[in-house]
A and B are shown apart, each in its own frame.
Chain A
Amino acid sequence: MEIFSFLGRLHPLFVHLPIGFIILSILLEVYISISRIKINPKIISFSWFLSFISTLSSALFGWLLYSDGLYIEEKINLHRITGFILVFLVFIAWFFRQSYFRNAFNKNLRGILSFFIVLNLFVTGHFGGNITHGQNYLIDYAPEEIKKIFLEKETLYDEILVDLDSIKLYNDIVEPILLKKCVSCHNNNISQGDLNFSSFSLLTKGGISGSSIDKMNPRRSLIFKRITLPENNLKVMPPDGPKMSFDEINTILWWIKNFDKSEQELSLLEIPLDIQYSLNNIFNIDFQEKKWFDKIDISNLDDSSISKLSDSIFNIKFISDKKKFLSIKLLEKDLKLDEFDKLQIVKNHIAYLDISGVNVSDNLFEKIIEFKNLIRLNLNNNNITQKEIKIIQGLDNLQVLNLYGTNVSSEILNILKQFKSLKRVYVWNTKISDRQIENFNKENNGIKLIGGI
Chain B
Amino acid sequence: MNCNDHKHNYKFSRRDFLTKTSLGLGALTLGSLISPTNSYGNFNVLNNKMPHFPAKVKRVIYLLQSGAPSQLDLFDYKPLLNKLNGTELPDSVRGGQRLTGMSSGQSSFPLAGSIFNFKQHGSSGAWMSDLMPFTSKIVDELCFIKSMYTEAINHDPAVTFLQTGSELPGRPSIGSWVSYGLGTDNKNLPEFVVLVTKDKYGQPLYSRLWGNGFLPSQHQGVQFRSGKDPVLYLENPPGVTADLRKEQLEYLKKLENINHADIGDPEILSRMSQYEMAFRMQSSVPEVMDVSKEPKYIYDLYGPESKTPGTFAANCLLARKLIEKDVKFVQLYHQGWDQHGDLPNAIKVQCKDTDQPTAGLITDLKQRGLLEDTLVIWGGEFGRGSYSQGTLTADNYGRDHHPKCFTIFMAGAGIKKGITIGSTDDFGYNIKERPVHVHDFQATLMHLLGIDHERLTFKHQGRRYRLTDVHGNVVNEVLS
Contacts and interface: CB of A to CB of B under 8 A. Distances in A.
Interface residues of B, number: 26
A427 to B, nearest CB: 9
A333 to B, nearest CB: 11
Interface in B250-270: none
Interface stretch (A52-60, A279-287, A310-318): A310-318
A410 B285 CA distance: 38
A378 B374 CA distance: 15
Nearest to A375: B54
B368 A380 contact: yes
Contacts of B52: 320-321
Contacts of A400: 369, 372
B45 interface: yes
B381 interface: no
A65 B51 CA distance: 70
A320 B51 contact: yes
B366 interface: yes
A316 B44 contact: yes
A291 interface: yes
A426 B372 CA distance: 10
A321 B367 contact: no
Given A315-B185, A317-B185, A426-B368, A291 B46 contact: no
B55 interface: yes
Given A309-B45, A311-B44, A329-B326, A319 B369 contact: no
Nearest to A325: B54
Contacts of A428: 367-368
B45 A453 contact: no
A61 interface: no
Contacts of A323: 50
Interface string A391-433: 0000000001010100000000000000000001010110000
Contacts of B366: 450, 452
Contacts of B368: 380, 402, 404, 426, 428, 452
Nearest to A305: B45
A309 B44 CA distance: 8
A404 B367 contact: yes
A293 interface: yes
Contacts of A402: 368-369, 372
Contacts of B53: 320-322
B50 A318 contact: yes
B363 interface: yes
B1 interface: yes
A310 B44 contact: yes
B356 to A, nearest CB: 13
A316 B50 CA distance: 11
A380 to B, nearest CB: 7
Contacts of A291: 54
Most chain A CB atoms below 10 A, which of B52, B53, B54, B297: B54
A278 to B, nearest CB: 18
Interface in A288-313: 291, 293, 303, 306-307, 309-311
Interface in B1-35: 1
Nearest to B366: A450
Contacts of B54: 291, 293, 319-320, 325
Interface in A366-408: 376, 378, 380, 400, 402, 404
Contacts of A327: 58
Contacts of B291: none
Interface string B220-235: 0000000000000000
A326 interface: yes
A162 B141 CA distance: 33
B301 A317 contact: no
Nearest to B42: A310
A452 B363 CA distance: 8
Interface in B35-60: 43-47, 50-55, 58
A326 B367 contact: no
B450 interface: yes
A300 to B, nearest CB: 12
Most chain A CB atoms below 10 A, which of B1, B366, B368: B368
A402 B52 CA distance: 26
B44 A450 contact: no
B50 A306 contact: no
Given A329-B185, A452-B368, 18 more contacts: A310-B45, A315-B326, A317-B45, A319-B55, A319-B450, A321-B1, A321-B50, A321-B51, A325-B54, A402-B372, A404-B369, A424-B369, A424-B372, A426-B369, A452-B366, A453-B297, A453-B301, A453-B367
17 contacts: A306-B45, A315-B185, A316-B44, A316-B45, A319-B50, A320-B53, A320-B54, A329-B185, A376-B372, A378-B369, A400-B372, A402-B368, A404-B368, A424-B372, A428-B368, A452-B363, A453-B367
Interface of B: 1, 43-47, 50-55, 58, 185-186, 297, 301, 326, 363-364, 366-369, 372, 450
**6 pairs of A and B residues whose beta carbons are closest in the complex:** A452-B367, A426-B369, A402-B369, A428-B367, A316-B45, A310-B44
Interface of A: 291, 293, 303, 306-307, 309-311, 315-323, 325-327, 329, 376, 378, 380, 400, 402, 404, 424, 426, 428-429, 450-453
